[in-house]
């Protein structure tokens, strides 16, 4: 099976993978003494990793748990007995017994000099920076007693801010050349928009030919933002426009909230990762002035019905009608970073992508049509705001084709970080807010919608519905999760074969609503085995797509879930900073725990979804009307069109 890119693993992990997990094959464990504490570590473990295992903190700037070793900032230098010069602990593999000291006078002075030199090139006033009080450079300057600019300080900007992108703003005056963004873009995501160019004091981080972000192949995922230690990268924040809409008495302002922000927003208010604040957030949003607070899980459930129906129709065309226009495997389409990735790098494979819009965009179209009619509100007076964990959602809502309601379907996209700042402006201490529910008619949701936030969640939610619709039997979601446990977790690419039972139920009423559904029973699925895959992070997506092109095992899949961000949406580019494997795991646990708290846990049981088909999309899923509002179409050039 394909696995995650090992190039970005810590040195000790690389050794284990090379040797098939047996570190002893190349020398076993080695004794190391750090600040008087002794331990044994596998050969190849870095000094930084060894220190962490002893509970000893060594400061870092260029180092990040998600990224490969760089060793460029030198903030993590330590003294190694017998070595003439200080060594970068993040890049020093232990291959023989060592004695290390991490906070001697020589080390402290070196770190202070490094910070002074970094600050001499760092233009900007901290109080007006969005990373104020959450800036790694600022924190280290305070820790090492920096109270003046010993080597001077830029008195004016040297670079023009790049505000061309709907998703990401670059301010290179705040860049400290740690290259985290470069390694994120090249190694973690394998997109390659950013690179260090020039030498010595002429070095800077640039795009291809110094073009603005809007003119290069940036997929807007925002992973560079989440790993930047300063304010050099940030999301394009529309909160001023949102406040203006809230303050306009003529505007009816509604907000939809995705599942992942609820699992992460508490971190912005000092809580440990993994503490969801779903219902406190509802109260806080009303306090901010939003007229209605809706649950994106509603449209996630709608996505499952539409995307699942599309998959069933593709399978029938391919397996029964032998229609070559039915392209398999079908790829998910709810991650806009992933969609932009395939548009840029594999446009010839766009027919594999489901035509179903993302939950965000489905909701926008529904609000400015069905909801507007139901409540006798002119769509032009409705302002739709989407709270998302993702910076790519900002680009998605501004795509010119996303106006199937006759208006811009989603007006503004807010990240988790931006909403937290709006709440602080409003004097809200979120953890102390009372709980309240979502507003009708989109207040009812299911656990299936919630788990969309974690990698594998879309696939699991789809299976909860598909298995019941096909078999006609009720399945416990937790038992089903056990049957398909391979699709949960953080392995880069996951694969599952699911044999279908011999016993089938009747074709459900919701599918019968669509008169174009060509089958009357499920017998054509007898003996079939569904082949499924789940992939997160575009570096892993590249491996899967190349495997499909080569006719490998993933070319035999029927359905593949793709997410642009590591861990899925819970690791999105708009989530609280910092992020790490441990933090993503805690957010995932919060999402799965919340799923279990729902009474209704399957998309096809959501009463609000059933109601919209009964009263509005009356021709059923994947019908002409559903396609007009809830689906997109591709031109031969690989672009969306209405």
How far does Cα 473 stand from its chain's mean position?
34
The Cα–Cα gap between 486 and 75 comes to: 40
Q: 317: which residues sit within 8 A by CB, 6+ positions away?
A: 323, 325, 326
Residue 265 CA to its chain's centroid (Å): 14
Query: Residue 316 corresponds to which tokens in the numbers above?
Result: 């029938």
Residue 307 falls in the annotated catalytic set = yes
Active-site residue identified among 49, 79, 307, 468: 307
Strands 292-295 vs 252-257: parallel, antiparallel or unpaired: parallel
Residues 12, 333, 335, 354: which is the catalytic one?
354
User: Is-catalytic flag, 556?
Assistant: no
Catalytic, 628? Answer: no
Q: Residues 4, 136, 306, 310: which is the catalytic one?
A: 310
Catalytic entry in 62, 224, 288, 334: 334
* 316-326 exposure pattern, b = at least 16 Cβ within 10 A, e = fewer: bbbeeeeeeeb
Per-residue burial over 548-584, b if 16 or more Cβ lie within 10 Å, else e, is beeeeebeebbbbbbbbbbbbbbbbbbbbbbbeeebb
Catalytic residue among 38, 401, 473, 582: 401
Q: Residue 36: how many CB atoms within 10 A of its CB?
A: 9
Let me know if 49 is a catalytic residue. no
Q: How far apart are the first and last CA of the chain?
A: 38
Structural tokens at position 246: 């809230």
List the catalytic residue out of 393, 494, 542, 543.
393
Kindly list the distances between the CA atom of residue 224 and the CA atoms of 192, 230, 275, 542, 581, in Å, as whole numbers in the listed order. Answer: 11, 11, 25, 19, 16
Maximum pairwise Cα distance, the chain: 80
Is 491 among the catalytic positions? Answer: no
> Taking the CA of residue 123 as centre, how many other CA atoms within 13 Å lie in the half-sphere pointing to its CB?
11
Active-site option among 368, 569, 622, 623: 569
Q: Would you call 310 a catalytic residue per the annotation? A: yes
Structure tokens at 487: 């699709």
Q: What letter would DSSP give residue 330?
A: E
393 labelled catalytic: yes
**DSSP letter string, 350-419:** GGGB--BPPHHHHHHHHIIIIIHHHTT--GGGEEEEEEES-SHHHHHHT-TT--TTSS-S--EEEEHHHH
Q: Which residues face 93 on adjacent strands? A: 46
Q: How far apart are CA 591 and CA 605, in angstroms?
A: 20
Determine which one of 136, 267, 396, 468 is catalytic. 396
Active site residues: 307, 310, 334, 354, 393, 396, 401, 569
């Amino acid at each position: 099976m394909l696995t995650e890119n090992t190039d970005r693993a810590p040195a000790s992990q690389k050794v284990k993978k090379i040797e098939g997990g047996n570190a002893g094959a190349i020398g076993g464990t080695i004794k190391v003494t750090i600040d008087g504490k002794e331990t044994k570590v596998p050969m190849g473990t870095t000094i930084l990793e060894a220190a962490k295992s002893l509970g000893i903190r060594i400061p870092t700037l260029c180092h990040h748990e998600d990224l490969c070793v760089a060793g460029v900032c030198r903030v993590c230098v330590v003294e190694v007995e017998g070595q003439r010069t200080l060594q970068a602990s993040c890049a020093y593999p232990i291959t023989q017994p060592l004695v290390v000291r991490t906070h001697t006078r020589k080390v402290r002075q070196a770190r202070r000099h490094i910070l002074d030199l970094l600050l001499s090139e760092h233009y900007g006033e901290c109080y007006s920076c969005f990373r104020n009080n959450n800036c790694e450079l600022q924190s280290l300057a305070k820790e090492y007693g920096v109270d003046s600019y010993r080597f001077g300080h830029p008195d004016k900007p040297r670079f023009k801010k790049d505000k061309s992108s709907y998703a990401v703003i670059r301010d290179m005056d705040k860049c400290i050349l740690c290259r985290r963004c470069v390694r994120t873009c090249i190694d973690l995501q394998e997109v390659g928009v950013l690179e260090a160019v020039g030498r010595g004091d002429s070095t800077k981080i640039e795009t291809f030919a110094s073009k603005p972000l809007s003119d290069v192949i940036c997929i807007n995922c925002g992973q560079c933002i989440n790993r930047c230690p300063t304010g050099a990268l940030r999301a394009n924040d529309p909160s001023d426009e949102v406040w203006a809409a809230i303050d306009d008495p003529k505007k009816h302002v509604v907000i939809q909230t995705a599942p992942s922000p609820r699992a992460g927003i508490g971190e912005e208010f000092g809580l440990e990762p993994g503490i969801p604040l779903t219902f406190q957030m509802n109260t806080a949003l009303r306090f901010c002035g939003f007229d209605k607070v809706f649950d994106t899980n509603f449209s996630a459930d709608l996505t499952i019905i539409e995307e699942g129906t599309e998959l069933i129709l593709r399978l029938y065309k391919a397996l029964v009608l032998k229609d070559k226009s039915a392209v398999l495997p079908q790829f998910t389409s709810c991650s806009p970073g992933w969609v932009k990735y395939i548009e840029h790098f594999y446009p010839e494979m766009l027919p594999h992508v489901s035509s179903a819009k993302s939950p965000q965009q489905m909701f926008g179209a529904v609000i400015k049509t069905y909801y507007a009619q139901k409540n006798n509100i002119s769509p032009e007076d409705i302002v739709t705001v989407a709270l998302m964990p993702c910076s790519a959602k900002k680009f998605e809502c501004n795509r010119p084709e996303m106006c199937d309601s006759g208006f811009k379907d989603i007006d503004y996209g807010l990240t988790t970080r931006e909403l937290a700042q709006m709440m602080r402006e409003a004097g809200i201490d979120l953890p102390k807010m009372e709980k309240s529910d979502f507003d009708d008619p989109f207040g009812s949701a299911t656990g299936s919608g919630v788990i969309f936030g974690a990698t594998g969640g879309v696939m699991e939610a789809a299976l909860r519905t598909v298995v019941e619709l096909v078999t006609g039997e009720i399945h416990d979601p937790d038992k089903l999760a056990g049957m398909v446990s391979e699709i949960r977790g953080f392995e880069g690419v996951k694969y599952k074969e699911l044999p279908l039972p011999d016993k089938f139920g009747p074709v459900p009423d919701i599918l019968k609503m669509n008169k174009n559904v060509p089958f009357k029973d499920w017998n054509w699925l007898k003996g079939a085995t569904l082949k499924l895959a789940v992939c997160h992070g575009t570096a892993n997506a590249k491996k899967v797509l190349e495997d499909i092109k080569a006719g490998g095992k993933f070319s035999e899949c029927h359905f593949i879930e793709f997410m642009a961000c590591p861990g899925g949406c819970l690791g999105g580019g708009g989530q609280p900073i910092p992020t790490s494997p441990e933090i993503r795991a805690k957010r995932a646990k919060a999402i799965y725990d919340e799923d279990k708290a729902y009474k209704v846990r399957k998309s096809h049981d959501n009463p609000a979804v059933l109601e919209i088909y009964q009263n509005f999309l009356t021709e059923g899923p994947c019908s002409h009307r559903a396609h007009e509002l809830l689906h997109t179409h591709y031109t031969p050039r690989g672009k969306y069109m209405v």
